[in-house]
Structure 1
Amino acid sequence: MTADTLPDPVEERREEQYRDISRRVWIGWGRNSAAMGVVGVLVLVCVWAVGLLDGERMITGLADIADLLGDMWPPDFTNINRWWGPLWDSMSMSIAATALAVLLSVPLALLGARNTSPHPTVYAVARLVLNTLRSVPELIMAIVFVAAVGFGALPGALALGIHSAGMVGKFFADSIERADQASVEVARAAGATRAQVILHGILPQVLPQMADVTVYRWELNFRASVVVGVVGAGGIGFELIAALRTLQYQEVSAILLVILATVTVVDALGGALRRRFQ
């Protein structure tokens, strides 16, 4: 065997690395494909279970919806002056609920973040509280608070605020855990106390994300205020369900258009606030 025909060790290592990378890519592709296949089968089973694949039923339902939309046209704005008060109640409810959610979320988030919680047990309890708060739907909470404090915007604000605290607190805690530890180490090296580390090393990093989540949650709370109004928690939702119960479909469409216009304004204002805090 001449020197020209001797295998090149460097070339052999490159080929071996290439084969190793190719093998890993194929294995990863196979695993991802299998996972996507399982998810696809699960989705199809769920779609079949709820009846989305029942073509006859869906066609019949679409025809009934078309008839209902015909009954809702044209919208009747005769009582529009009566809706401004409930609409303001819904807006006030969403703002008050968001403020309550932030008030509850900040301490729970600090206790539920690994890098600020004083003890693993405290961390676990705080996370459990956050999970519990967001696992109970706001509609169920609204029913409970209506029974406890009566009809009006108060039970709606309490229900939305407490439910929102679970989700907002989780986002706050996740943001705190992702904070850059370099600033924290600098504060600790300077002799800062635990509270000073949180105040000067962590919160300045996460305040923009917290403000963004707060504004976004306010937008969601306004939409949800319409839903909780259906069970007597005040707001424009109460007027909507009253019109539905009396079969005033043209008035229902008018209220829905007013809600749509208000939601559009709220979304635009929320977007402006989020850009302001970025």
Structure 2
Amino acid sequence: MSASVDSHSAILRRHELRWRQQCLRVGLILIAVVGSLAVVGLFDAERIATGLPAIFKLLPEMFPPDFSRWSFWIKPLIDSMAMSIAGTSIAVFFSMLLCLFAARNTSPNRPLYLAATGLLNVTRAVPELILGMILVAAVGFGALPGTLALGLHSIGMLGKFYAEAIELCDLEPIEAARSSGASEMQVIIHSILPQVFPAMADVTFYRWEYNFRASMVVGAVGAGGIGLEIISALRIMEYQQVSALLLVVLVVVTALDSMSNALRHWMVQ
């Protein structure tokens, strides 16, 4: 009886300790969140009170949307779509090569693992906008620097997700393949990739959607696409054209979301 009571007390103490640790973690996160809100000025009531009316004054100037230049937006839209597809394709190719070295369970040795993860960190650390500015200065204006900027940044993101998916895959099929005498390449092709392919497909199609939206950002620095049209309209204060362009982008993004869902289901069947 005494042993049972002691065991029950030990369980309660462990539960209480875990609860206190969890409360401490949540408290630290809340401190970081509140501190960040203060740093960026979200607690500046006077500034927000004067800024919100300015936004509401701008909204009437954006309506009704002006679609009079719709024929001039077709090519930039095609450019943005091509940039997102080409940039994602570049990223998938190089990420597939790097993720095998950036995953602990498939990397041949630690130096290669550190080199691969370091390269992924570098490409992920530089935002698309900065890459776009650098590449525009290097290769000139147009869709090419935008595509390269999207592709380079996406390598870091996709490579990281691919490597994490490989590290989290089930070990039993891998051990079974190795015990049967399969080579490392055969293990990767027949035991690892079939497990991680659905997760890779999900991340890849999400990144494609993201790259289309990001193409508008890199367009702001002269990297082509529909983003350049939006920035041009903003510069000359044609807010009705801006609202029309944003509606067009919303329709295209919605269509891309439906298309990517259909492709995802088709590929993982």
- Per the normalisation by structure 2, the TM-score is 0.96
Query: Residue 214 of structure 1: CA displacement?
Result: 0.8
Distance in 2, matches of 1:188 and 1:48, equals 54
Give the 5 Å matches for 1:1-278. 11-278=1-268
Distance in 2, matches of 1:44 and 1:211, equals 36
SS in 2 for 1:28: helix
Higher mean alpha-carbon deviation, 267-276 vs 70-79, is at: 267-276
Query: Residue 220 of structure 1: CA displacement?
Result: 0.6
Encode CA deviations 1:131-154: one digit per residue, 9 max, x unaligned: 111010011001111111111111
Encode CA deviations 1:108-141: one digit per residue, 9 max, x unaligned: 0011111111111100110000111101001100
Task: State the AA in 2 paired with 1:270.
Answer: S
Task: State the AA in 1 paired with 2:99.
Answer: A
Query: Residue 170 of structure 1: CA displacement?
Result: 0.5
Query: Residue 251 of structure 1: CA displacement?
Result: 0.7
Distance in 2, matches of 1:148 and 1:49, equals 36
Task: State the AA in 2 paired with 1:137.
Answer: P
Distance in 2, matches of 1:190 and 1:263, equals 47
Query: Residue 98 of structure 1: CA displacement?
Result: 0.5
Query: Residue 265 of structure 1: CA displacement?
Result: 0.7
Cα RMSD between the aligned structures? 1.1
Q: Which has the larger radius of gyration?
A: 1
Contact 1:108 1:169 in 2 (8 A): yes
Encode CA deviations 1:219-243: one digit per residue, 9 max, x unaligned: 1111101111111110000000010
Encode CA deviations 1:43-88: one digit per residue, 9 max, x unaligned: 1121111110011111111101111111111111100111011001
Give the length in aligned residue pairs: 268
Distance in 2, matches of 1:267 and 1:181, equals 33
Query: Residue 215 of structure 1: CA displacement?
Result: 0.7
Task: State the AA in 2 paired with 1:159.
Answer: A
Unaligned runs of 5+ in 2: none
Task: State the AA in 2 paired with 1:181.
Answer: L
Contact 1:110 1:116 in 2 (8 A): yes
Query: Residue 217 of structure 1: CA displacement?
Result: 0.6
Contact 1:212 1:277 in 2 (8 A): no
Distance in 1, matches of 2:193 and 2:74, equals 39
- Per the normalisation by structure 1, the TM-score is 0.93
Unaligned runs of 5+ in 1: 1-10
Distance in 1, matches of 2:262 and 2:140, equals 36
Distance in 2, matches of 1:276 and 1:16, equals 57
Contact 1:93 1:225 in 2 (8 A): yes
